[in-house]
Chain A
Amino acid sequence: MEHLLDFFSNIDASAFTFDLDYISEKVIPVLNRGLWVSLSLIVPSVILGFIFGVAIGAGRVFAPPRIRRLLDLHVTLVRGVPLLVQMFIIYYGLPSIGIRFEPYVAGVLSFTICTSAYQAEYIRGALMSISQGQIKAAHALGFSTLKSVLWVIIPQALRRALPGCGNEVIYLIKYSSLASAIVMMDLTGEAVGLASQEYKYTEVYVMLGAYYLAITSAATLALYLIERKTAIPGFGRLAAGAAK
């Protein structure tokens, strides 16, 4: 209780400063520079992560047992080790065996590996939710296994996986801030650099948070539009009013 009182009595609101001129003259230009770096990390990682996620997820359901076990191991490793540690291994560890990456490449690589493992789980769940009956029907029409996966199962599974995958995109945007740990000057990297110059932590970090919020909001809107555009009666939200 005493600690709590101490804690509150130490709060001094009059010491709060929020220097708007500093924000418009210094913080915004610097963060804008970092924004492009962040986006250049996020966008390719989302796209590649999604493609590999679909491939790994489909492999974990349809591939022969040996490949399936290998993919299970891969997903367990990637999901079980902190992303920051993975990035350190890729950027600082691999050079010791002669594999060197530019920071940007190391960043996209580790984000893609990480996000695809999570995406694969959403995709796997969605793939398994498609009824066996439809697969049988496709086979009975003369579809090969590959064709039935491609034209019957994946189009449905992607719609089912979309909310989960969208969630993962939001996560990726936020954990892209870890790129600063491998000397990338992304949003967070620029902000940390700027804050250490003039110690205006409040201005810099509140604005940094606002930038991430703006990116995730834009992504949320985009995902909502995709979901609405691909909606089909009988899938999720629109199912209710669909009965004849």
Chain B
Amino acid sequence: MLIGPSGGGKSTFLQCLNFLIHPDQGEVFLDGKRINPDNKRELYDFRQHVGMIFQDFNLFDHLTAEGNVSIALRKVKGMSKKEAHARAIHELDRVGLSMRSDHYPAQLSGGQKQRVAIARALAMDPKVILLDEPTSALDPELVGEVVAVIRKLAAGGMPMLLATHQMDFAQALATEIIFMEKGRIVEQGSPETLLAPGAGTRTQDFCLSLNQMGAQNPAPCCSKAETQETME
């Protein structure tokens, strides 16, 4: 779980992990194997195994929900049209959207778009999924449906790296919290340690300030208020 103020480098860090942004230095390993991003074939192969969910969904606007999920199966994995279609419907079913399979992105709500994006990533059988503020662009009442899908994935044991401002997320799902600010990792540890009462960590300060903002503006942050209770 990656948290921290805006502009702190969370998105950049996630995009460096699959070389959407070229890192200035450092190495990336998957299953103990170092990835050489200059080898195009190796890079494309690596990216197939790393799912990515974006804040603003980035669905392909010219394709239906089904097309969004199946296009990479066909054009990258080389599946037949029929095979890819069956897999796409299966994945859309997993996120509860099989009945919307022939809808275009413009016909879907934000929450539905993000669930299609998750189905698109899952269809590639990723070994790990990077989620870049998956709920930040959503209306408050649509956050729940996306969170539910992500919780289900976590329960199924899918390794995930999630950047978020939603602290209840961090508490409920995180096995490790990384706090980033100004492009650097400031703190790193289990939620129990970093958020323990009186821990006095930067992470805890950040959470408290988020929760105070939530108190002034109760509607979108009711879940955060809940977090505060458990923290106190």
B108 at the interface (CB under 8 A from A): yes
A80 contacts partner chain B, Cβ-Cβ < 8 Å: no
A-side interface mostly: helix
Q: Does A142 reach chain B (CB closer than 8 Å)?
A: yes
B7: min CB distance to chain A, Å? 18
- Nearest Cβ on chain B to A228's Cβ, whole angstroms: 16
B88 within 8 A of partner (CB): no
- B contacts with A, residue count (CB < 8 A): 34
When the two chains form their complex, are residues B124 and A141 in contact, meaning their CB atoms are under 8 A apart? Answer: yes
Q: When the two chains form their complex, are residues A133 and B104 in contact, meaning their CB atoms are under 8 A apart?
A: no
Place the interface of chain A in its size category: 20 to 34
Closest CB in chain B relative to A240 CB, distance in Å: 10
B105 and A234 form a contact (CB under 8 A): yes
* Residues in chain A near residue B52, CB distance under 8 A: 137, 140-141
Residues of B within 8 A of A133 (CB): 54, 56, 58
**Interface segment, one of B27-35, B39-47, B210-218, B220-228:** B39-47
Q: Are A134 and B44 neighbours in the complex by a CB distance under 8 Å? A: no
Q: Chain A contacts of B60 at CB under 8 A? A: 134, 137-138, 152, 156
Within 8 A of A (CB), among B41-81: 44-45, 47-48, 50-52, 54, 56, 58-62, 71-72, 75-76
Which of B45, B50, B109 touches A140 (beta carbons < 8 Å)?
Answer: B50
Tell me whether B107 is interfacial, beta carbon within 8 Å. Answer: yes
Report whether A142 and B62 are in contact in the complex, using a CB–CB cutoff of 8 Å. Answer: no
Q: How far is the CB of A72 from chain B (nearest CB, A)?
A: 27
Taking a contact as CB atoms closer than 8 A, the residue among A134, A140, A244 that contacts B61 in the complex is A134
B72 near A142: Cβ-Cβ < 8 Å: yes
Interface string of A120-133 (1 = CB under 8 A from B): 00000000000101
Contacts A133-B56, A133-B58, A235-B62: A142 and B48 contacting too (C-beta < 8 A)?
A: yes
In angstroms, Cα B51 to Cα A244, docked, is 27
Smallest CB separation, A204 vs chain B (Å): 48
Q: Complex formed: what's the CA distance from A232 to B104 in Å?
A: 8
Q: Which one of B20, B76, B109, B112 has the highest number of Cβ atoms from chain A below 10 Å of its Cβ?
A: B76
| Segment among A10-18, A55-63, A143-151, A165-173 that sits at the interface with chain B | A143-151
Write out the residue numbers on chain B whose beta carbons fall within 8 Å of the beta carbon of A232: 61-62, 104
Q: Are A144 and B20 in contact (CB under 8 A)?
A: no
**Residue among B45, B56, B103 making CB contact with A142, cutoff 8 Å:** B45
User: Do A234 and B120 touch (CB < 8 A)?
Assistant: no
For the complex with contacts A137-B58, A233-B107, 7 further pairs of A-B residues with Cβ separation under 8 Å are A131-B58, A140-B20, A140-B52, A142-B45, A147-B75, A151-B71, A234-B61
Q: List 15 A-B residue pairs with CB atoms under 8 Å apart, sorted by A's residue number.
A: A131-B58, A134-B59, A136-B15, A140-B50, A141-B47, A141-B52, A141-B124, A142-B44, A142-B47, A142-B124, A151-B75, A152-B71, A234-B104, A234-B106, A239-B106
Chain A interface residues toward B at CB < 8 A: 131, 133-134, 136-144, 147, 151-152, 155-156, 159, 232-235, 239, 242-244
| A-B pairs, 9 with minimum CB distance | A234-B106, A142-B48, A137-B58, A140-B52, A133-B58, A141-B72, A233-B104, A242-B106, A142-B47
Interface of B toward A, CB cutoff 8 Å: 15, 18, 20, 40, 44-45, 47-48, 50-52, 54, 56, 58-62, 71-72, 75-76, 103-109, 112, 117, 120-121, 124
